[in-house]
């Protein structure tokens, strides 16, 4: 009988064990980093500008046998003559026109645009298996239904095994 009680206790302990399936999930780490985006635009525009040109230094000399002389440069013309009374006459006049010049001067404009850009990287967590609810197997249903019965059986078996020491303890308590 004692062996049977031991076997029932061992069988009850074997059926009462349950295991939960816990799956660990890797933590999600968010990396926040700030950066500055700098755009630099360089524009070169050629603007016409009027330029003043210095007059060239020119000279011309002419010696003639007659009583008059005519000298001409790029910018002026001059006439000289001797009058009948022995005096010298001289005239100078500029040629019609202007010395104008136009030059193209580059004007550079630089535009710098600094813009703070917040980049947020969110890593995708690794997929983990998800258990879908299913019907319990027959073994699992028996384990769930028999749990309290097995606990009661274990208590009875322990009581049966230790009945003699328990009875002696009870008798001593009652005599007191």
Angle at 37 between CA 32 and CA 42, to 5 degrees: 175
The pTM of the full predicted model, rounded to 2 decimals, is 0.28
pLDDT digits (tens, 9 = 90+) for 28-74: 545 445 567 777 888 888 988 888 766 666 656 665 666 777 778 77
pLDDT digits (tens, 9 = 90+) for 133-163: 888 899 988 888 889 998 999 999 999 999 9
pLDDT digits (tens, 9 = 90+) for 94-140: 776 667 778 888 888 888 877 776 766 777 778 888 777 888 899 98
Q: According to the 3-state scheme, what is the secondary structure of 132-152? A: CCCCCCHHHHHHHHHHHHHHH
Structure tokens at 172: 């001593």
């Amino acid at each position: 009988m004692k062996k049977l009680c031991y076997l029932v206790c061992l069988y009850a302990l074997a059926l009462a064990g349950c295991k939960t399936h816990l799956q660990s999930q890797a933590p999600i780490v968010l990396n926040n980093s700030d950066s500055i985006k700098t755009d630099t635009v360089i524009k070169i525009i050629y603007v016409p500008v009027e330029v003043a040109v210095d007059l060239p230094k020119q000279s011309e000399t002419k010696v003639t046998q007659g009583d008059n002389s005519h000298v001409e440069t790029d910018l002026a013309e001059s006439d000289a003559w001797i009058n009948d009374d022995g005096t010298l006459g001289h005239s100078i006049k500029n040629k019609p026109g202007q010395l104008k010049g136009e030059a193209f001067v580059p004007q550079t404009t630089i535009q710098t645009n600094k813009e703070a850009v917040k980049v947020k990287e969110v890593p995708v967590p690794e997929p983990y298996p998800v258990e879908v609810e299913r019907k319990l197997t027959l073994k699992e249903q028996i384990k769930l239904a028999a749990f309290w019965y097995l606990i009661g059986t274990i208590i009875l078996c322990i009581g049966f095994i230790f009945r003699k020491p328990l009875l002696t303890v009870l008798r001593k308590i009652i005599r007191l």
